[in-house]
Structure 1
Amino acid sequence: MAGSGSRRVTGADVAREAGVSRATVSYVLNDTPRQKIPEATRQRVREAAARLGYAPSAAARSLRTGRSDLVLGLLPDWPIENVLGRLVQQLTNAFAEHQLTFLVHSSARPARPLREIWKALTPAAVLALDEFPESEAGAMRAAGIEVVMAVHGSEQGRRRPPLVAEEPIGAAQARYLVDSHRRLGYAYPDLTRLGVLARPRLDGVRRVCAELGLPEPDVRVISFEADGAVEAVKAWRAADPPVTGVCAFNDDLAMSVLVALRSLGLRAPEDLAVIGVDDAPGAALTQPPLTTIVRDTDAIAHGLARRVVDSLDRRTVPVHPLQDPLRVQVRVSA
C-alpha cells in the first residue's frame, strides 16, 4: 500500500490510484468551484485519498490560499479548569467551522518563549487570552501574521478595549444580591495573575453599589485552599454594618466561603449569602448548592472566531466587546 512506508503520500499518488490527473485530484480535494467534474469521478478520488491515507500538506495549502490555516491561541499562566478547558474546546470547534485549526500554547513555565512558537508555526492569526507586549505584537505583524488580538486586555502600552468584558459579571452578581442585602463583600483571588479577570468583575460590583447608594463592597483576598476563607468570613460578619451577601470571583472561591461558613457553625444564605461564577461541575453538589452566574462560552467562542475570520478577510470588525449572555443559576446559597 502506498501509504504504508515512511514516504509522505502525495497528490500524484492519489491521481495514480484513482486514474485521474493531478489537477483533478487538486480540484476535488480542495472543492474548487466552477469545475465540471462528474460526481462518480469525485467519489473515486475521495475513496483513493482515504485508502492511501492522504493528508494535504499545510505548506502547500498555505501557498495555494496565500495564508496559513493555523490560529495560535496563547493561554496565560492561569489554572486550566472547567470553564477555560470548555472555552478552548469550543474555540477549536468554532475555528474548524471556518476551516481553521486552533492550536494552543500555554505560557506556564518552563514553556518555550512565545517568539520561538510563532516563528516556528507562522500562524495566520494569534488570539491571546491575556495582554502581551506591543513589541511582540509588532514583531508578529512584521513577520506576516495578519491578526493579533488580546481577548481580556490591551496589548501592553496600547489602549485596546477587551473583546470579552468581565465587568458585567460582577454587576450581575451584585444586582442579584442587592434586593435582599445592603452590604456586600467580594471574595478576591490571591493569584495576582488572575487580576485581568478579577479587577473588572470587582468594578462591576462597585458600580452597582455606587448606583444604588450602597457602601463600597468589603473586599477580602482569599486563597483557593479549603480553609482560605475563614478569616474573611469572620471579618465580613464583624464589619459595621455587617456584610450579609458575598460575590465571589468564581465558584472555587465561593465554595471556599461555603466551607468556611460550615466550619464556623454558620449557614448560607441565612448568615451569609454567596454567589459564584462559572457553574463549575461541583457547584450543584455543595452544601448548600451554589447560586452562580453562567456564561454562554459557546457564544463567546463563535464570536471570537468570527472576529478573527473577518479580520483575515479584511472585513470591518466592531470595536465593542462581544455580547456575552449571562444568566443566574439560582440554587440555595443566595
Structure 2
Amino acid sequence: MTPPAKRPTGQDVARAAGVSRTLVSFVLNDRPGVSIPEETRRRVLEAAKSLNYRPHASARSLAAGRSDVVLLSVPDLPLGSGISRFIEELAASLAASGLTLVTHLAGAHGRPLPDVCASIDASAVIGLEPFDSDTAEALRKAGADVVIPSASGDTVSPTGLIGVLQAEHLVRSGHRRIGYALPAHPRFQTMAAERLQGVVRVCAETGLEPPVVVTTNLELQGAVSAVTQWVERSVTGVCAFNDETAIAVLAGLRQKGLSAPTDLAVVGADDIPTARLAIPPLTTVCFDLHESGKQRAEAVVAGLAGREPAHGFPPAVPRLVQRSSA
C-alpha cells in the first residue's frame, strides 16, 4: 500500500524559495510593517503554489491573533429552504471578508456549544435566536470574541413575533375566533410553542378567547379532520405553524368543498417558494433572510475589528407577505 503523501510544511516552502521559515510566515500572512523585496515575495508565493501548501489553522490563528472560523448554531430541526437560504447568504458574506463558516446542529444529544466553540477555535459564534446570558458568557470563555445575538430582554422571541404578526393580521381583518395549526412532527414542538405564544398574546390583548389549537400533519385526512374541528367551533381564521402546514390546511378545505379566505382564512409562516403557488396563493409571515445574513456577517467583521457595526445590529423582525388566502 502506498503511504499517504506528506503534507508540505512551511519549511518545505522556505527550502524551495531559498529563504528562512520566518520570512515565509511573513509573506503568507501578509505581516504588516515588514519590508520584503517584491522578487522575494514572488518567489515565496510561487513556491507555496507549486507545493500546494496551505497553512495550518493553528498557524494562521497565531499569526492573526485569532482564527478565521465563525460557528453557526443551527437548531435540531428539518432544514427547510428558508434556513438554507440564510446559511448560503451568511457564508458568502463572511467569505468575502476572509472568514469561514462552520455549522453545528444543536440538540439534546450533541456536544455543548461552548465545547464545540473551543474545539474548533471559533472567533465568533452566531445563533438564530438570542443566547441566554449564561451561554453567551460560556462562549466567550471558550474563546469567542464575538457572540451574536447576545441575550435579549424581550418577552417574545423573534420566532414568537411570527405568531404575533399572523394573529394581528387576522384580527385586523375582522376575525374574532382564531385557530392554530400545530405540527405533528416532534422536532418542531419547541419552535411551534414559541410561535403559538405570539398568537395567544394577541388574543389576550384584544379580548379574544385563546386560539383553538389543533395538531395536524401533512396528510390530507389529517388536514380534513383539523378543518372540521375548526369549523365546528366557529373558527374563521387559522394561523399555521409554517407554510407546509398551511398548504395542507388549504388542501383540507378543498376536500370539504370549502375555500380560503371565504370559509376559513389561512396564514402561513416562512414564505417558502411554493407559497405563492398555493391555491389560493398563501398569505404568510417571514424574515428577510438575505438581509439578516448580511447584517450578521457585518456584525461579526465589525466585532472582530473591535468596532460597532456601521448600522448597528437590529434584531431580526418578521414581515407580513399578504396574498389571497387571508
Common topology (TM > 0.5)? yes
- Structure 1, 54-63 or 114-123: larger mean CA deviation: 114-123
TM-score (norm 2): 0.79
Partner of 2:241: 249
Q: CA deviation at 1:113?
A: 5.7
Partner of 2:183: 189
The one-character-per-residue Cα deviations of 1:177-224 (angstroms, maximum 9, x if unpaired) are 33433223222334565455434433444455556x462452314233
Partner of 1:80: 79
Partner of 1:173: 166
Q: 1:70 to 1:14 in 2, by over 3 A?
A: same
Q: Is the 8 A contact 1:71 1:101 kept in 2?
A: yes
SS at match of 1:187: strand
- Tell me, in whole angstroms, the C-alpha distance in 2 between the residues paired with 1:186 and 1:121: 41
- Tell me, in whole angstroms, the C-alpha distance in 2 between the residues paired with 1:243 and 1:216: 11
Partner of 1:273: 265
Partner of 1:289: 281
- Tell me, in whole angstroms, the C-alpha distance in 2 between the residues paired with 1:164 and 1:301: 18
TM-score (norm 1): 0.77
- Tell me, in whole angstroms, the C-alpha distance in 1 between the residues paired with 2:248 and 2:74: 25
- Tell me, in whole angstroms, the C-alpha distance in 1 between the residues paired with 2:275 and 2:107: 27
- Tell me, in whole angstroms, the C-alpha distance in 1 between the residues paired with 2:14 and 2:113: 40
Q: Is the 8 A contact 1:299 1:324 kept in 2?
A: no
Letter in 1 for 2:93: A
The one-character-per-residue Cα deviations of 1:150-182 (angstroms, maximum 9, x if unpaired) are 67xx5xxxx755997234433333343334332
- Tell me, in whole angstroms, the C-alpha distance in 1 between the residues paired with 2:202 and 2:113: 39
Partner of 1:57: 56
Q: 1:142 to 1:176 in 2, by over 3 A?
A: closer
- Tell me, in whole angstroms, the C-alpha distance in 2 between the residues paired with 1:90 and 1:215: 40
Q: Is the 8 A contact 2:162 2:286 kept in 1?
A: no
Q: Quick check: 1:333 aligned with 2:300?
A: no
Q: What is the 5 A alignment of 1:79-228?
A: 79-108=78-107, 111=110, 114=113, 117-129=116-128, 139-149=138-148, 160-161=153-154, 165-183=158-176, 184-191=178-185, 194=188, 196-209=190-203, 213=206, 215-226=208-219, 227-228=221-222
Could you list the runs of 5+ residues in structure 2 that have no partner in the other structure?
none
Q: 1:38 to 1:275 in 2, by over 3 A?
A: farther
- Tell me, in whole angstroms, the C-alpha distance in 2 between the residues paired with 1:224 and 1:40: 67
Partner of 1:231: 225
SS at match of 1:228: helix
Q: 1:66 to 1:77 in 2, by over 3 A?
A: same
The alignment-based identity, stated in percent, is: 45
Q: Is the 8 A contact 1:222 1:229 kept in 2?
A: no
Letter in 1 for 2:243: D
- Tell me, in whole angstroms, the C-alpha distance in 1 between the residues paired with 2:185 and 2:212: 15
Q: 1:139 to 1:279 in 2, by over 3 A?
A: closer
Q: 1:312 to 1:36 in 2, by over 3 A?
A: closer
Q: Is the 8 A contact 2:285 2:318 kept in 1?
A: no
